């Protein structure tokens, strides 16, 4: 029988079954594959064997893990709160399994400990070697990445990791929870109002309710109402570069457009920094399933697409910092731009790519504010969906994001209402989604319907909805509300610096040049404003933030890649990998043959 402890939903290997004949026990989300002998052999070329004794700690919870372990013999337990009264085993790995989840690849701290249960051997591979192998070996890369993604999702669903103690009515509690959820950080929220555990924890740490929200990590670290940056540093998310940093290109925003720009810029030898105010992936990162993206016939979740892009950007040397909220942009005399941030930091770059995307519009109806973050949500992910297993929920919106959310939530909730104020879904939703929504037995589409009031003191109890043709009101008993009603650009910090359209989106190309408030900055350039260029030379806008953009993942990624082509033209050189922008003669191709070869090898 396998040495693996089974999670809910797994079937045990029957007693007496030959382990060699049943090398793969049923898995959860592909999170616990067993490596083949050939895969272990390839990993062995980059690592070394190590003997283990009972109670040897291979990974310590709360510490940065720099080693990848594969079990060769014996068994290793994955334990949360190791060495404390709350200690409990999450999983036991037998031969062929490996330790690690998403934080391993991103340099975050470990959310659990790994402890040997019996004598055996493990294969030890450094994280740097693992990253190189994942990038170059598609077979091992897919196995490891899919397992790490699945394990992170399981950790989030199990409420592992740090704890947030705070009131559901507190804006700071909602802020911390949103940051943790959007960055896919394992955590558990303890409601100050309804959770009995909250009072005991406050007494243990000698903290009053007025000092909440709190973040508690392993009962040894206590943060009182930390900012997002403090929480990020605790977990090991990368900070901003040191003061005085200068680079070739600064990318503001890390949705599909920003990440595509990062991959192409870094792979073509440009020193590249990406900054993100809240969470990588943008709106696409919150999507449960993207089914119309070229090359993914069975679809891909926004989280997986984001993580794959992050690893790709990291492979080429792009630096990604979270959270870093840009507050200002200004040109420097030496042909650089300086971007200022909310914490007082500044970064200078020769070119800037604006990929800040747009933010979902909040629904403005009576009673909604106090329930935002608890029963009212502006994204639909596993953490939120798991709270909806027993009660009906409603989704507001008529676009693709709403359609994807409906289908995802229907896998958890017994009933999902889709509330659409228009007469049909055809105006804004793709045909493939409309067909799936119409055919799903647990989904009810309510056209000509608008929410007028949210009812509930601590949790959502019902909605008051109105038929906008007849004016007839009716109550709708639901316990969760998910809102996808369009988005507004995040460009307040750019007003007065570059040209924006009437809705705040960034103008580019001829429209930007025509609206430019300082036409003198273009004098002597010997060129006009390029297609994705804003009203300042060397500043580009891509994705949802660009005026006139197509709100699709594929088009956003394409614009991000295209922007780097224009960055090269602006800089007036072709970059050679590793040169950090060594000047070369202008003319001919913008990308050197060496770069094209490197890119082709990666895409093959």
Candidate from 34-43, 235-244, 560-569 with smallest mean pLDDT: 235-244
| Mean pLDDT value across residues 186-205 | 90
Alpha-helical regions (H) of 183-294: 196-205, 228-235, 256-267
Q: What's the pLDDT score for residue 243?
A: 66
- Which H helix or E strand runs over 102? helix 102-106
Reported confidence tier of residue 18, pLDDT bands at 50, 70, 90:
very low
Question: What per-residue confidence (pLDDT) applies to 212?
Answer: 94
Of the listed ranges 349-353, 511-515, 596-600, the least confidently predicted one is: 596-600
d(CA 246, CA 583): 16
- Percentage of the chain lying above the pLDDT 70 cut: 89
How far is the CA of 175 from the CAs of 286, 359, 491, in angstroms? Answer: 16, 15, 20
What is the share, in percent, of the chain residues with pLDDT greater than 90? 59
User: Quick one: average pLDDT of 405-427?
Assistant: 95
- Rounded Cα distance, 25 and 32, in Å: 9
Judge residue 467's burial from the number of C-beta atoms within 10 Å of its C-beta, 0-12 exposed, 13-18 middle, 19 or more buried.
middle
Q: Please count the residues of the chain.
A: 604
pLDDT band at 29 (very low <50, low <70, confident <90, very high): low
- Of the two residues 134 and 440, the one the predictor is more confident about is 440
**Residue 21 pLDDT exceeds 70:** no
Q: Pick the residue with more confidence: 114 or 217?
A: 114
Q: Is 440 exposed, middle or buried (0-12, 13-18, 19+ CB in 10 A)?
A: middle
Q: Quote the pLDDT of residue 13.
A: 33
| Domains in the chain with CATH codes | 19-158 (2.60.120.10), 162-235 (3.40.30.10), 246-359+488-603 (3.50.50.60), 369-485 (3.50.50.60)
**Residue located via tokens 């197509």:** 550
Q: Quote the mean pLDDT of the chain.
A: 85
How confident is residue 431, by pLDDT bands cut at 50, 70 and 90?
A: very high
Q: What is the DSSP code (8-state) at residue 12? A: P
What 3 state SS string does 358-415 have?
EEECCCCCCCCHHHECCCEECCCCHHHHHHHCCCCEEEECCCHHHHHHHHHHCCCCCC
3-state class (DSSP) for residue 591: coil
| pLDDT category of residue 527 using cuts at 50, 70 and 90 | confident
pLDDT at 371: 86
Environment class of 548 (CB within 10 Å of its CB; exposed 0-12, middle 13-18, buried 19+): exposed
Total H helices, total E strands in the chain: 15, 28
Residue-wise pLDDT for 292-329, tens only, equals 888 988 888 888 899 889 988 988 989 999 999 999 99
Contact (CB, 8 A) for 276 and 254: yes
* Token reading at 411: 């896998």
Tracing tokens 């979270």 back to the chain, one arrives at: 322
Per-residue pLDDT tens over the stretch 78-122:
999 898 888 889 999 999 999 999 888 888 999 999 999 999 999
Four-residue CA torsion sign, 362, 368, 370, 374: negative
Contacts of 528 (CB under 8 A, 6+ apart): 510, 513, 522
Q: Which of 259, 250, 186, 483 is nearest to 359 (CA)?
A: 483
Residue 483's pLDDT band (cuts 50, 70, 90): very high
Segment 442-471 shows an average pLDDT of 94
């Amino acid at each position: 029988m396998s040495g693996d402890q089974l999670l809910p939903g797994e079937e045990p290997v029957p007693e007496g079954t030959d382990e060699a004949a049943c090398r793969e026990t049923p898995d959860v989300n592909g999170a616990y594959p067993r490596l083949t002998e050939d895969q272990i052999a390839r990993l062995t070329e980059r690592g070394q064997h190590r003997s283990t004794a009972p109670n040897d700690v291979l990974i310590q919870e709360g510490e940065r893990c720099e080693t990848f372990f594969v079990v060769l013999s014996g068994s290793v337990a994955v334990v949360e709160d190791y060495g404390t009264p709350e200690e409990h085993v999450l999983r036991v790995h037998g031969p062929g399994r490996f330790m690690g989840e998403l934080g391993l690849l991103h340099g975050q701290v470990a959310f659990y400990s790994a402890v040997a249960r019996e004598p055996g051997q493990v294969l030890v591979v450094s994280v740097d070697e693992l990253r190189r192998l994942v990038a170059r070996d598609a077979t091992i890369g897919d196995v490891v990445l899919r397992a790490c993604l699945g394990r992170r999702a399981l950790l989030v669903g199990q409420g592992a990791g740090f704890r947030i103690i705070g009131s559901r009515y507190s804006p700071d509690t909602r802020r911390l929870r949103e940051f943790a959820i959007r960055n896919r950080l394992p955590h558990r929220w303890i409601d100050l109002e309804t959770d009995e555990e909250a009072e005991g924890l406050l007494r243990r740490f000698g903290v009053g309710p007025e000092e909440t929200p709190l973040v508690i990590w392993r009962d040894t670290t206590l943060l009182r109402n930390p900012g997002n940056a403090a929480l990020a540093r605790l977990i090991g998310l990368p900070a901003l570069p040191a003061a005085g940093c200068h680079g070739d290109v600064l990318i503001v925003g890390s949705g599909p457009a920003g990440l595509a720009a990062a991959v192409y810029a870094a792979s073509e030898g440009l020193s590249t920094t990406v900054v993100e105010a809240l969470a990588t992936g943008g709106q696409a990162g919150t999507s449960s399933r993207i089914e119309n993206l070229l090359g993914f016939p069975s679809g891909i979740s926004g989280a997986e697409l984001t993580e794959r892009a992050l690893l790709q950007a990291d492979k080429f040397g792009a630096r990604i910092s979270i959270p870093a909220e840009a507050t200002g942009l200004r040109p420097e005399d030496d042909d650089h731009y300086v971007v200022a941030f909310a914490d007082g930091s500044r970064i200078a770059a020769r070119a800037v790519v604006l990929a800040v995307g747009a933010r979902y519009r909040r629904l403005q109806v009576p009673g909604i504010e106090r329930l935002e973050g608890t029963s009212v949500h502006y994204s639909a992910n596993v953490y939120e969906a798991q709270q909806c297993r027993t009660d009906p929920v409603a989704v507001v919106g008529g676009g693709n994001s709403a359609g994807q959310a409906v289908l995802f939530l229907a896998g958890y909730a017994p009933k999902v209402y889709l509330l659409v104020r228009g007469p049909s879904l055809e105006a804004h939703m793709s045909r493939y989604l409309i067909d799936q929504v119409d055919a799903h037995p647990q989904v009810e589409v309510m056209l000509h319907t608008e929410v007028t009031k949210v009812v509930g003191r601590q949790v959502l109890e019902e909605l008051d909805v109105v038929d906008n043709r007849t004016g007839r009101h009716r109550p709708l008993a639901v316990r969760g509300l998910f809102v996808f009603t369009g988005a507004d650009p995040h460009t307040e910090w750019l007003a007065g610096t570059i040209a924006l359209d009437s809705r705040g989106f960034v103008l580019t190309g001829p429209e930007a040049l025509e609206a430019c408030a300082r036409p003198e900055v273009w004098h002597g350039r010997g060129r006009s404003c390029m297609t994705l260029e804003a009203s300042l030379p060397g500043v580009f806008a891509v994705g949802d933030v660009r005026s006139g953009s197509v709100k699709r993942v594929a088009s956003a990624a394409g614009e991000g890649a295209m922007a780097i082509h224009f960055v090269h033209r602006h800089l007036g050189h072709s970059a050679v990998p590793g040169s950090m922008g060594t000047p070369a003669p202008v003319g001919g191709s913008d990308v050197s043959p060496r770069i094209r070869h490197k890119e082709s090898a990666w895409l093959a």
